[in-house]
Amino acid sequence: MSKPPRKHQDQPPPKPPEARGKTPLVVGVIALAAVAIAGFVLMGSGPAEPAAAPAAAAAAPAEPIAAATADPQGAPSVALKPHPQKNLPALQLPGYPLGRSPEVITAAYRFAAEHPEILTYVPCFCGCERSGHRGNEDCFVKSRGVNGDVTEWEPHGMECNVCLDVATQAMQMYSSGASVRDIRAAVEKKWAGQAAQMHTHTPTPDPPK
């Protein structure tokens, strides 16, 4: 009697074919999810604020300050007068010898303090215009209070023979009764040679007429 054919039970069932195009499908799903999340965030955050304008554009341009005393030569806006001062700041002379005596130096500083109406209009020729000096008074007086009193000395003048000699000449002519215009003319004439040679001359305003 023949044996029935043996079933092929020992053979594993065939594997289903792998799904094709699996990778593109996953990428597409991820992309859709990202778009959905982005849309949700944008909807929840509301409309975007406009970008802030640059500070330079937002700020209104500053109005130019009008120069009420604008004068080509920086002349004082009011007429200067003699200004006697009872208590002057202490003048500290250095311990080493100077080109002029302490008496001459002290007299020049006092004259500059009490007679701005003279030395403001008298030029200097030592080159101190490079330090911002506009006249011989600046060689001795650094600052004044609102009442005109000297509050601080300019130390440059005590060591500069040119500054001291110009102030001394002006002081002597003033004591003789000369006007500020005559003093200015005499100083300019005396120092014209040095001024031309050294190219030094403070931008001193002309005396009032």
- pLDDT score recorded for residue 78: 65
Torsion of CA 123, 125, 127, 131, to 10 degrees: -20
Determine, yes or no, domain membership for 167. yes
**Inside any domain, residue 194:** yes
Q: Judge whether residue 127 has pLDDT over 90.
A: yes
Q: What share of the chain is helix, strand, coil (3-state, %, to 5)?
A: 45, 5, 50
In a domain, 191, yes or no: yes
pLDDT of residue 35: 47
Confidence of residue 56 (pLDDT cuts 50, 70, 90): very low
Rounded Cα–Cα distance for residues 136 and 163 (Å): 7
Q: Alpha helix locations (H) across the chain?
A: 22-45, 55-58, 102-114, 116-119, 161-175, 180-198
pLDDT at 132: 97
At 44, the amino acid letter reads G
13 belongs to a structural domain = no
pLDDT in tens, 7-39: 444 555 555 544 444 444 544 545 555 544 544
pLDDT tens across 149-199, in order?
Answer: 999 999 999 999 999 999 999 999 999 999 999 999 999 999 988 888 888
CA distance 138 to 163: 10
Do 194 and 146 form a contact (C-beta atoms < 8 A)? no
86-104 tens-digit pLDDT: 999 999 999 999 999 999 9
Within a domain: residue 172? yes
Domain for residue 171, yes or no?
yes
Q: Is 158 helix (H, G, I), strand (E, B) or coil?
A: helix
Residue 108 maps to a domain: yes
185: domain range? 102-198
pLDDT of residue 41 exceeding 50: no
What span, in angstroms and rounded, lies between the C-alpha atoms of 52 and 65? 29
Segment among 68-77, 143-152, 170-179, 196-205 with least mean pLDDT: 68-77
Q: How far apart are CA 191 and CA 199, in angstroms?
A: 11
Report yes or no on 161 lying in a domain.
yes
pLDDT at 203: 96
Length of the chain: 209
Q: Give the residue, 51 or 16, on which the prediction is more confident.
A: 16
pTM (predicted TM-score): 0.64
Pairwise CA distance, residues 10 & 181, whole Å: 134
Domain count, the chain: 1
Report the DSSP pairing between strands 150-153 and 141-144: antiparallel
Q: Which residues contact 191 (CB under 8 A, 6 or more apart)?
A: 123, 125, 162, 166
